[in-house]
Amino acid sequence: MSATDIHLHRILIIDFGGQTTQLIARRVRECGVYCEIHPWDLHAETITDFAPTGVILSGGPESTIEAGSPTIAQALLDLNVPMLGICYGMQAMVNQLGGVVEAHRGESEFGYALMNVSGECSLFDGLNDSAGSEVQLDVWMSHGDRVASLPAHYTLVGTSDNAPIAAMANEEQKRFGIQFHPEVTHTKQGAEILRRFVLEVCECAGDWTPGNIIDNAVAEAKAKIGDERVLLALSGGVDSSVVAALLHRAVGSQLTCVFVDHGLLRLNEGDQVMQLFAENLGIHVIRVNAEARFMNALSGVTDPEAKRKVIGNLFIEVFEEEAKKLTGTTWLAQGTIYPDVIESAASSTGSAHLIKSHHNVGGLPEHMALKLIEPLRELFKDEVRRIGVDLGLPAKMLYRHPFPGPGLGVRILGEVRADYAQILREADDIFIQLLRKHDLYDKVSQAFAVFLPVKSVGVTGDGRRYDYVVALRAVETLDFMTARAAHLPHEFLDEVSRTICNSIPNVSRVTYDISSKPPATIEWE
């Protein structure tokens, strides 16, 4: 399938600063429809160039009745395509189309609510979460202001206790506003409501599927690279691994991967990377054993941010040294994914805040005369994993817990040393293997061990020992923005502690971190 086909139907998501805007996009993609997120103050030319099949307006933290609050671009309102306003998006529609939004006179509505479906609406018809005679939907609200009166040609189709106008519809123009958030799992029928809007109201074909994405990416890579050579820094992580498999399918032996083993990987990970890619998939991988070099560079460095910079800068230095040896290479592949692009993009007018800068976004160093190819640039992480499975990569590798870019360098508190890294590798492996053995690994979002450079008194047989401390960390989270410590069984933690202390002579004590995020972070550094 060609690139034109896979992008033929597309939803434009306007971001008003809501915390769940990316979740809206993921739900649309789950319907098999391509979408992009753009800031509310995007240029009219961007709207014209994008040519959306439909528009979704996100929620946001502002108040539409305050001066200077974000507004819907007139070019969007002038489009003759379906539109769905969510929370702030609905209130912005009302405010700009002649209705009235007012500050909430009573209690604001945050959290679970029951919405009474009070009229016919193609988004709600036939849906009901109530066992009684009333048609009601379990929804998730998050708003302070509320709609007081509707714009002309819109009808009331939903009410709640604190929002007398909780949903509105203009069926003729195929435009809708809902005060609740359909993208979150707390809204029971939310996925179905978005599916109806995208597939039925907007009449999108649903061609955005893993198989089509792969075919599209392979065709584009072949067309771009031609008979030239391409270089990829392979880390063994999900993104670079999927890029390697994808480009290998596209250009075969024209791809060379450089795997920099900095000595801060998990137990046996370097050998596993080589076995998977070089031996099983037949991809040309150059392994650079640079552990001694990294340890020398990290000697005496204790500040977490300084360690990250040392590791990042030296990684680039080693990679560039290897790249210079490969004559005839004209392309550099990167594992940039769509959230990297979103988080690194400032507003088109400069009025939106830049969230963060990402190492994969923003071009190449000037001294590297290579062209850039980013096959995953349009994909979310869950989409990357799904196409990785289709490309033949093992699910066990694709669905591993997140691992920091600097590796164990930020899980060893203080100075990084080779002996500390080996102790941590062994402890971490015991923890992970026991999580898998007890069917707990997939029930937590992230789990790992941390090395503490302090010693504690212990007892072995009749002897006294004075050795290091290891902390265990396991969290449950949906978005990694907030997290709570996983409630692992005490008997399980006891088994992990005993196994670590009995198997690793240098560890005398194991602790379990019960801190939530916030106030703590998930990683210790």
378 is an active site residue? no
AA identity, residue 236: G
What distance in Å separates the CA atoms of residue 251 and residue 283, rounded to the nearest whole number? 11
Q: Cβ neighbours of residue 430 under 8 Å, at least 6 residues apart?
A: 496, 499, 500, 503, 504
Decide: 24 and 178 in contact? Cβ < 8 Å.
no
Q: Cβ neighbours of residue 177 under 8 Å, at least 6 residues apart?
A: 84, 85, 89, 90, 91, 93, 94, 147, 154, 167, 168, 169
What distance in Å separates the CA atoms of residue 474 and residue 516, rounded to the nearest whole number? 10
AA identity, residue 96: Q
Residue in 9, 38, 143, 181 annotated catalytic: 181
Q: How would you label 369-389 residue by residue, b for 16+ Cβ within 10 Å and e otherwise?
A: eeeebbbbbbbbeebbbbbbe
AA identity, residue 28: V
Q: Which of 410, 510, 437 is nearest to 467 (CA)?
A: 510
The helix (run of H) or strand (run of E) holding residue 284 is: strand 284-289
Structure tokens at 489: 């069984």
Locate tokens 């429809």: which residue? Answer: 33
AA identity, residue 328: G
87 is an active site residue? yes
Structure tokens at 246: 């994808």
Locate tokens 């506003």: which residue? Answer: 177
CA of 197: how far to CAs of 31, 115, 217, in Å?
10, 18, 27
What distance in Å separates the CA atoms of residue 276 and residue 485, rounded to the nearest whole number? 33
Q: Which of 270, 295, 303, 262 is nearest to 410 (CA)?
A: 303
Residue in 183, 378, 383, 426 annotated catalytic: 183
Backbone angles phi, psi at 45, to 5 degrees: -65, -35
AA identity, residue 162: N
Burial zone of 424 (CB within 10 Å; 0-12 exposed, 13-18 middle, 19+ buried) = buried
487 is an active site residue? no
Residue in 31, 87, 121, 257 annotated catalytic: 87
CA of 272: how far to CAs of 238, 286, 398, in Å?
14, 14, 13
Q: Cβ neighbours of residue 61 under 8 Å, at least 6 residues apart?
A: 17, 18, 88
Active site residues: 87, 181, 183
